């Protein structure tokens, strides 16, 4: 009886270990991850709109047909990126993912509080190379540190009614994601009366 109980316990533990290892390893060994699927459709450091989600033809699984979606596949090896996304009338969100689909940052139009979501994306090393300026605060410039040099930025704009989809697509079409050729601008000193 003890031998049978021991065999069952060892079998359950071994099955649990195999299951855990396979679940943790699968994202790293999968060949058709999101980055690989989007590579033929996108250009590096450029915002590209995805086709609207339709049953059986959506480029990515589980796409919501109420959202216009655009992708920026980025590579920070040439320098930091400047991302600018005009907000749509209903709702706009921007999500950041590493090459291995790890989500590390997200922002929407309500938390940005502006008509345009603007931010600088860079690696931690590039962020450390920026000159420190006491007059620039985090409210003046949003800097996101990417844990990897490559990844995906997913832009979504909600169309609450089917007739508003062209407006949602237009807001994403105006978005830009490009390598900064010069360091981020410093804020000017406010001039007061003397």
Q: What are 28-85's pLDDT values in tens digits? A: 776 677 777 888 888 899 999 998 877 777 777 788 889 999 999 999 998 999 999 9
25 in a domain, yes or no?
no
Residue 75 near residue 41 (C-beta atoms within 8 A): no
Residue 92 near residue 157 (C-beta atoms within 8 A): yes
Residue tagged 């959202």 (tokens):
67
Residue tagged 């000017």 (tokens):
188
Q: In Å, what is the CA distance from 29 to each residue of 22, 23, 26?
A: 10, 11, 5
Percent of the chain with pLDDT over 90: 46
pLDDT in tens, 143-155: 899 999 999 999 9
52 in a domain, yes or no?
yes
Whole-angstrom distance, CA of residue 79 vs CA of residue 122: 7
Identify the domain containing residue 45 by its residue range. 34-179
Percent of the chain with pLDDT over 70: 86
27 in a domain, yes or no?
no
102 in a domain, yes or no?
yes
3 in a domain, yes or no?
no
pTM of the model: 0.76
Residue 130 near residue 79 (C-beta atoms within 8 A): no
pLDDT mean across residues, the chain: 84
pLDDT in tens, 81-119: 999 999 888 899 999 999 888 899 999 988 877 788 899
CATH number at residue 155: 2.60.40
Whole-angstrom distance, CA of residue 156 vs CA of residue 171: 10
Query: Count of domains in the chain?
Result: 1
Whole-angstrom distance, CA of residue 4 vs CA of residue 137: 66
pLDDT at 193 over 80: no
pLDDT the model gives residue 106: 93
pLDDT band, residue 184 (cuts 50/70/90): low
193 in a domain, yes or no?
no
14 in a domain, yes or no?
no
Helices (H) and strands (E) in the chain, counts: 5, 9
20 in a domain, yes or no?
no
**Phi first, then psi: what are they for 89, rounded to 5°?**
-65, -35
Q: Compare 36 and 174 and report the one with higher pLDDT.
A: 174
């Amino acid at each position: 009886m003890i031998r049978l109980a021991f065999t069952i316990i060892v079998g359950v533990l071994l099955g649990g270990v195999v299951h855990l290892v396979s679940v943790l390893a699968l994202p790293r060994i999968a060949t058709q991850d999101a980055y690989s699927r989007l590579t033929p459709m996108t250009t590096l450091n450029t915002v590209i709109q995805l086709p609207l989600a339709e049953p059986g033809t959506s480029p990515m699984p589980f796409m919501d047909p109420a959202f216009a979606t655009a992708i920026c596949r980025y590579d920070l090896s040439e320098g930091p990126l400047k991302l600018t996304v005009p907000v749509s009338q209903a709702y706009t969100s921007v999500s950041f993912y590493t090459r291995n689909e790890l989500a590390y940052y997200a922002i929407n139009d309500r938390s940005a509080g502006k008509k345009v979501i603007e931010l600088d994306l860079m690696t931690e090393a590039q962020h450390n190379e920026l000159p420190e300026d006491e007059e620039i605060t985090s409210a003046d410039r949003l800097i996101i540190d990417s844990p990897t040099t490559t990844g995906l930025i997913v832009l979504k704009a909600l169309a609450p009614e089917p007739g508003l989809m062209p407006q949602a697509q237009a807001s994403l079409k105006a978005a830009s994601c490009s390598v900064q050729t010069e360091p981020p601008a410093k804020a000017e000193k406010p001039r007061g009366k003397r």
